[in-house]
Structure 1
Amino acid sequence: MGHGKKHHQTRDESEKNGRIVNNLMKENILESLARFVIKNAQRIVILSFLATLLCGIYSFKYLKIDSDQDHMISPQKEYHQRYLNFLNKFGDTEYIFVVFEINQGNKADSLKAIEELAAILSQNPGLFPTVSYKENIAFAKTHELQLISPREFQVLKSLSTQLPLEKIASIQNEKQFFLTLDDLINKFTKANSDNAGQSFDLLTSVFKQTLHLYQNPEAPFSLDAFLDQASLRNKGYYASESDKLLFLKILPQKDYQTSSVIEKPLQFIRERIAHLKNKYPNLIMGVTGRPVLQADEIASTGQDSLLACLGSILGVLLLYLYYLKNLKKPLLIMLALLASIAWTSAFVALTIGRLNLLSMVFGIILVGIGVDYGMHFLLRFIKHQKAGLNPDIALILTMKQVGASIITGATATSLAFYSAF
């Protein structure tokens, strides 16, 4: 029993001695570092300034922005692989849309404006690889069955057994037309509520043709009038079913080295829209689409982030000025913080080479977190100075007391932020 207790005490003393030795080693290392700084203070300041300058230039030149949101998701994810395969097969399908609102007074101007805008954009293939506002109707009429999916073909085949399509196609005179009209009315009045809207639209077109034949008995019968070929959609324009909206579809050239991706194409489009509005005062038009919404969001976020970053730096500086009642020391802390941000940016440029949309906003966080370490060190240094110690001794003692904690905390924070890049 006594032998076991003695062994336990010996082990405790050994562990205690080990901890003392480790602490002494750390303190000796930190003390040596502090003495090195004291001895070479001027050289260290000059080298730090030059390093900050070089790091700032290097990061400005080589640190790139990667605003491609697809790169923020692991390519190992199964659902992301399906999306990337889709892009490889079909290309980019995120279009910009210029929308024209049509009314009775501006239809002609809208058609002129969309043709002018399409012509201008088509002259800049470097910014706009694809510009279209109209489909090739002649091609679609002869190849329509090639443009539909197998499922849609089966639906069409099923409809052909329910509607007298052959009778409609063989109409040659008014008598055949009215007989077919009677048949259609009987069928459509029995349609379920899900098809009521479509049935009403078709019957409206039928009655328009009926009225036309009644008012113009000598006019030749035309299936084009029956199908309402005067609508913008039937003329090939990208338009809503009501013909109240007209669309210009644009595929912009994307630059993922910029935060907004489509900054130049979007600026060009908006400038041309402003010009057209001046030329056609009654024109109602605007630009939309997912790329536009993302560009506006990022532009707004970037501006807000810059203001927030500058505001946080100023706020921290004012807080330290109020607390320390001194201008020199808070300014030195902020200079050290800015130097550390420059070094961090250069390190990211060297090791990773890019910032994504998530890591770009960490500048604000670095201001709040990075300044803590300098403040901890400074306040402990001031405390020792107030106790009557000279600056050299105060610096050595501060380094021995808080140096290890600051280095440990800064290292852990660095590793945590590194994962976000």
Structure 2
Amino acid sequence: MKVTFQSRRAPRSFMLWLMRVTTARPWLTVGSAIALALLGIGYTAASLEFVTSRNAMAPADAPYMQAYERIRQDFGSLDYLVVVVEPPTLERGKQFVQALTTRLQADTQHVREVIHTLDTSSLEGKKLLYLSPEELRTLQRRLEDAQDLIYDLSDTPGLVPLMSLLNQEISRALVSHLTRGLLESSSSTEPGTASAGTEPAQALDITFLADLFSQMEVALRESGHDAFASPWGSFFLDDDEVFNNEGYLTSKDDRFLFVLVDDRTTSSGFVKHAAALEALRSHIAEVQRDFPDVNAGVTGGDALSNDEMVAVQHDTMLATVIALAGVAVLFIVAFGQIGRPLLVVAMLMIALGWTLGFATLTVGHLNIFSVSFLPMLVGLGIDVGIHLLARYGEERTRQGDFDAALHTAYLVF
């Protein structure tokens, strides 16, 4: 019993001492409390860091985290803002990407580097390694079929010999095509011949000829045109199998184009990519005015984290304001007063300022989870004010004396 009495007496003695000190100079107490809260809020605004990476919430000694760190050491940072472009056609998308890249490269305040194409010169002489076995067999077959044309053209190069050789090849292909069609038609009319399994004759491929004429037209129309797209790729491979020598970053089906943007972060704050993202989205909107048929947006780990943090920050502040307003209204209704409940809410706001300053001093950072605890502190921290105010009101009604009522309230509390 003696131990229990001593353990309860010490906190009571401290509370009584605290009451005497704070009530002896009330204005000094209130001013010091407000000044300390403002100091805590200012220190928090200047020094509190926000860890936006989800990796910081995982154990550093986990195997997958160690593997990720090794990858980062070998390949550097892989975090980029990714602009995804969905054009109606691939050429339209390339024009959009080029216009956007020009604007981004000029915005050195927000953009450090823009990657919209890759240099494919290192693949010269190695491109066959990237073809599938079926594509290699197709290429071999077409080379064998065009062997005579290639040899003749190498002996007498030039546009006129090329057109003459192409005319011969087309005539030969037409004769072969018509002959095959007649033979298949006659065989299908013979009695006892099944035509269900007969494959239709393959259509003549004039893609190479169309590409050749297109390049000739461009050369005649634009005498100073330097960009030349060789039509020989479509002679040996289908259009969708030709290597994209321009090096644009595209999806496998060429539906999307990508632009990688390395942005300049403004600070280590809660939304350090906000300014760059806002500028990037503004540039996209400006370019879309000239390309209304192109859809474009920003994604990537940093962009998603930034948008997530902005939403968390906005929702947390809104929830805190709603919680404070709700607590104040509840107090006013429950106590039937306005002044004292508002004083308790003011005391709570001062305590929140102390808490933020203490958290900044001891921990120094918050993450996406801990920052959402601020609205909960409103509900938890108001309990002290509820008990103290209720007890003080009860004792003041019974005793009538301010000092005695406050003494009893502190003692019981």
Question: For the superposition of Structure 1 and Structure 2, which TM-score range results when normalised by the shorter chain?
Answer: 0.7 to 0.9
- Tell me the residue number matched to 2:32: 47
Q: 1:64 is aligned with what amino acid? A: E
> How far is 1:314 from its partner?
0.4
The answer for the alignment partner of 2:13 in structure 1 is: 28
**Alignment coverage as a number of residue pairs:** 349
Distance 1:277 1:393, change over 3 A: same
Shift of residue 52 of structure 1? 2.1
**Partner residue, 1:173:** 147
2:60 alignment partner, one of 75, 81, 87: 75
Is the CA contact (8 Å cut-off) linking 1:208 and 1:226 kept in structure 2? Answer: no
* Percent of matched pairs sharing the same residue: 22
Cα displacement (A) at 1:45: 1.8
Deviates more, 1:306-315 or 1:247-256: 247-256
Displacement after TM superposition at 1:171 (Å): 5.8
* 2:100 corresponds to 1:134: no
> In the aligned structure 2, how far is the partner of 1:258 from the partner of 1:174?
69
> Secondary structure of 1:387's partner?
helix
Displacement of 1:169 in angstroms is 5.6
Q: Within the alignment, does 1:210 sit opposite 2:202 as a pair?
A: no
Aligned pairs for 1:10-409 (under 5 A) are: 16-103=1-88, 108-125=91-108, 127-143=110-126, 159=133, 163=137, 172-173=146-147, 210-212=205-207, 222-228=232-238, 234-235=244-245, 236-254=247-265, 257-402=268-413
TM-fit CA distance, 1:291:
2.6
Q: Scaled by the length of structure 1, what TM-score is found? A: 0.71
**CA deviation after TM superposition for structure 1 residue 36, in Å:** 2.9
Cα distance between partner residues in 2 of 1:362 and 1:389: 40
Shift of 1:163: 4.2
> 2-side partners of 1:272 and 1:64: how far apart?
29
Stretch deviating more after TM superposition (376-385 or 341-350): 341-350
Alpha-carbon offset, residue 248 of structure 1: 2.0
Residues 42, 269 of structure 1: CA spacing in aligned structure 2 closer, same or farther, 3 A cutoff?
A: closer
Alpha-carbon distance between aligned partners in 2 of 1:45 and 1:64, rounded to the nearest angstrom: 29
Once residues 39 and 32 of structure 2 are traced to their aligned partners in structure 1, the CA distance between those partners, rounded to angstroms, is: 10
Q: Residue 142 of structure 1: CA displacement?
A: 3.1
Aligned mates of 1:20, 1:215 — CA distance in 2 = 101
* 1:22-79 superposed Cα distances (whole Å, 9 cap, x missing partner): 4344433433332333323332222222222322222222223332333223322232
SS in 2 for 1:76: coil
Counterpart in the other structure of 1:409: none
Give, in whole Å, the separation in 1 of the partners of 2:119 and 2:399.
Answer: 89
Measure the CA separation in 2 of the matches of 1:333 and 1:108. 66
Match of 1:417 in 2: none
Q: Verify the 8 A CA contact 1:174 1:221 in the aligned structure 2.
A: no
**2:125 match: secondary structure:** helix
Name the stretch that deviates more: 92-101 or 365-374: 92-101
CA contact (8 A) 1:173 1:221 kept: no
Pick closer, same or farther for the CA change 1:364–1:209 going to 2, 3 Å.
Answer: farther
3-state DSSP class of the match of 2:114? strand
CA pair 31-259 structure 1, distance change in 2 beyond 3 A:
closer
User: Which whole-Å CA distance do the structure 2 matches of 1:245 and 1:209 have between them?
Assistant: 31
Please tell me the residue identity of whatever aligns with 1:294: S
Post-superposition offset of 1:89:
1.5
1:120 to partner: Cα distance = 2.1
Shift of 1:337: 0.9
Q: Which runs of 5+ in 2 are unaligned?
A: 151-168, 174-201, 217-229
- One-letter amino acid of the structure 2 residue matched with residue 250 of structure 1: V
Aligned to 1:415: none
Separation (CA, whole Å) in 2 of partners of 1:367 and 1:307: 13
Deviation at 1:333, TM superposition (A): 0.8
Quote how far apart the aligned CAs of 1:348 are.
2.1
Please say if residues 392 and 405 of structure 2, whose CA atoms lie closer than 8 Å, have aligned partners that are also in contact. Answer: yes
The 3-state SS of whatever aligns with 1:266 is helix
Secondary structure of the 2:84 match is: strand
Q: Which moved more, 1:364-373 or 1:67-76?
A: 67-76
Residue 285 of structure 1 deviates from its aligned partner by: 2.5
Name the CA distance, whole Å, in 2 between partners of 1:324 and 1:309: 22
| Superposition RMSD in Å | 3.7
Deviation at 1:389, TM superposition (A): 4.0
Q: What is the SS of the residue equivalent to 2:269?
A: coil
- What secondary structure, in the 3-state scheme, does the structure 2 residue paired with 1:380 have? helix
Contact 1:308 1:364 in 2 (8 A): yes
Q: Residue type matched to 1:31 in 2?
A: L
Q: Is contact 1:231-1:243 (8 Å) kept?
A: no
Q: Assess, with a 3 A threshold, how the Cα gap between structure 1 residues 164 and 47 changes in structure 2: closer, same or farther.
A: closer
Q: TM-score, normalised by structure 2?
A: 0.72
**Contact preservation (8 Å) 2:250, 2:256:** yes
Cα offsets for 1:290-317 (capped at 9, x unmatched): 3322222222222121111111100000
* 1:96 to partner: Cα distance: 2.7
Letter in 1 for 2:124: K
- Residue type of the partner of 1:56? I
The gaps in structure 1 that reach 5 residues or longer are: 1-15, 180-206, 403-421
Aligned 8 A contact 1:233 1:239 in 2: no
CA contact (8 A) 1:233 1:241 kept: no
Specify the code of the residue in structure 2 equivalent to 1:234.
N
Task: Report how far residue 81 of structure 1 moved.
Answer: 1.6
User: What secondary structure, in the 3-state scheme, does the structure 2 residue paired with 1:136 have?
Assistant: coil
Change (3 A) 1:221 1:172: farther
* 2:187 aligned residue: none
